Structure formats: structure tokens, C-alpha cells
Amino acid sequence: MAGYKVIIVGASGAVGQEMLQVLENRNFPVGELKICATERSAGQKIFFKDKSYIVEETTPASFDGMEIALFAGGEASLEYGPLAAEKGVVVIDNSSNFRLDPDVPLVVPEVNPEDVKTHKGIIANPNCSTIIMVVPLKAIYDFAGIKRVVVSTYQAVSGAGAEGITELTEHTRAALDDGQVIPSKFQYQIAFNLIPHIDVFQEMDYTKEEWKMIKETRKILHDENIPITATTVRVPVYRSHSESINIETYRKVTADQAKNILADFPGVIVQDSPANKEYPMPLYTSGRDEVFVGRIREDNSLDNGLNIWVVADQLRKGAATNAVQIAELVIKYGCLGKR
């Protein structure tokens, strides 16, 4: 067989579109491709490698004979993920539905690739902000251990889907024209504003997004004892999430050591030259698959502390690219069903 039988569920959305692009960019060995979405999106035409595909409505029969299912997110994986796994399809799910299930591996390929081997049919793709944070954290964790993490995020509107992008554009135009700004996707006007509220509020008045970063990071690093606190903020940027991360380590790590450790870690690009005003920014990381790290400096308030500034495209590495990388590991480790 020349390639693998791949189905994408939710292909008409932002993450689904990115998955198709990443499959093509990475020359993933697709032998047969099926593109599915909701009944509302069925019938749309989508191109992959210059070939036209018609979006099909997702049904139980959609998974017959397929080998790898990439779920772009939403509730579809709850309905169809276990069913697909029962049919021998390896499910890679971008939703939050299975991330904290102890029987489902939660994987970032640069961090815990071996966990792919433990899958029972479903592999979870972490939250985008978690992925972006845990890649550089792993480099520091392996070198010096981590005693505590404090993270604040600056998350682009595309993290809320196509509606978020549209709303930022509409709010910006309305605000500049002194028109009426009507929030819909977001709680308040997003243009020229910051909203410290992503997803619903939960225990201790942390949002679900903040708890995702805390709980998922512990699971990925296999360390339930790391104290982590997070504040997640929506900002008027179209694409790429940024994060300010303060790390307290068990042993001293100098800024120069941290730069070398991070530069040597897979998937990380160090962009750090204050004298030349070089540091990561969302405008210049969009469309890239790497995690960019800069503003690397020792925390002047701690003996063993570091501050780092991290930026990555949350639609690529934070979602689609990470999912396709997981699929590559499934093939590499021979974790597919019988062919």
C-alpha cells in the first residue's frame, strides 16, 4: 500500500484546514483521504494536493476501512471517537474530551513520544497553550527539575475559531468608525482591549482554560506534584499565542545555560538578542511549526528562577501540527491496527 487511509473529522473548520495543510507540508503518506464534517458543512469542496474532495457528513460508516482519524475538535469525538477506535482506527483527538482520561495518552511528540505506545485506540492532543508551554518546560525540567511554574498567556482570537477572527475585524472597524460594538463570540469588545477570561469559570475562580494548562502539563510530564498557576488572557491578535513563563527550578540554571538547553531541544527556536531587539512575536511566528523562546533571563527575586517569553502558532504547533506529529509516531512505532 502506497499510503495510509486517513479521515479528518471537522475538516471545514480552522483546525481541520490546518491539518490538511500540515499533512501536505510534511508529506504525510496519505494513500486514501476522507473528509468529513457536520451536516451543515457537507457538500463543500476542499482541495488537498491539488485534488478536489467533497466534504461528507460524519456517520458511523465514515470510519469503515480507515486507519487514522484526525478529529479537529468539538463534540464529534465524543460521539464517534470510541466507535472509530472499536473499528480499529487510531483516533487522534484535538478536543478536550479525553485529555485527562487516565486510559488515554496525552502527547506532545517532543516531550513524551513513548506514551503513544500505550494507546488503546484514542490519543489526545493537548490544549494549544499547554503544548506551547510544555515544550520549553521539558528542556528545563530534564536539566534542573521544576519546583514551580507561573504562566500568563496572551492568546490570539483565532483560538476561538473563525468567529473570533471575524469578531476582531468587525470590532476594530466599528471602534475606528465610532460605530456600535456588539460582542458575540467574546464577553466584551476585543478590539483595543484585553479580556482575562477564556472559557468558563470553575473552582477557585480559575477558568477552564487555566485548569487545562495546570492539569495537562502535569499529565504530560508525568509529575502530579508540580505547583503550576496560570492566568489566561484573550488579546486582539489574529494568530499565535504568547506566554510569559516564570520557572523556579531545584538547581541553579543561568540564563546562558537556559539558552543553550533550549536551543538544543527539538522543536524550539531561541530568538533572544536584547541588544538587537530580537525576541519572539506573534506576527512573525504565524504559519510556523516551531516554538519560539526569548527574553530568557534569571529571575532577580529567586535564587533558582528563570523568566522566558514563548510564542507559537496555536493553529499549527498548538493543534494541527502536533496532531500530525502524533500520527507520524503511531506509524513509526507500529501502533496502527493490522493492515
| CB burial readout 223-242, b (16+ within 10 A) else e | eeebebebbbebbbbebbbb
Residues β-bridged to residue 89: none
Residues 226 and 34: their CA atoms lie apart, in Å, by 41
Q: Which of 301, 255, 223, 250 is nearest to 147 (CA)?
A: 250
SS3 content of the chain, % helix, strand, coil (to 5): 35, 25, 40
Q: Establish whether 119 is a catalytic residue.
A: no
Cell, residue 280 = 519572539
| Three-state DSSP state, 180 | coil
**Of 36, 119, 171, 241, catalytic:** 241
Identify whether 335 is a catalytic site residue: no
Please give the full DSSP string across 89-155, using - where no structure is assigned. Answer: PEEEE-SSSSTT-TTS-B--TTT-GGGGGG-SSEEEPPPHHHHHHHHHHHHHHHHH-EEEEEEEEEE
For 140, phi then psi, to 5°, come to -70, -40
On the CB side of 47, how many CA atoms lie within 13 Å of its CA? 3
Contacts of 78 (CB under 8 A, 6+ apart): 95, 97
Active-site option among 128, 171, 197, 222: 128
Amino acid found at 259: K
Cell numbers 521539558: residue: 138
Helix (H) or strand (E) segment spanning residue 245: strand 241-249
Beta bridge partners of 312: 241
Show which residues are catalytic.
128, 241
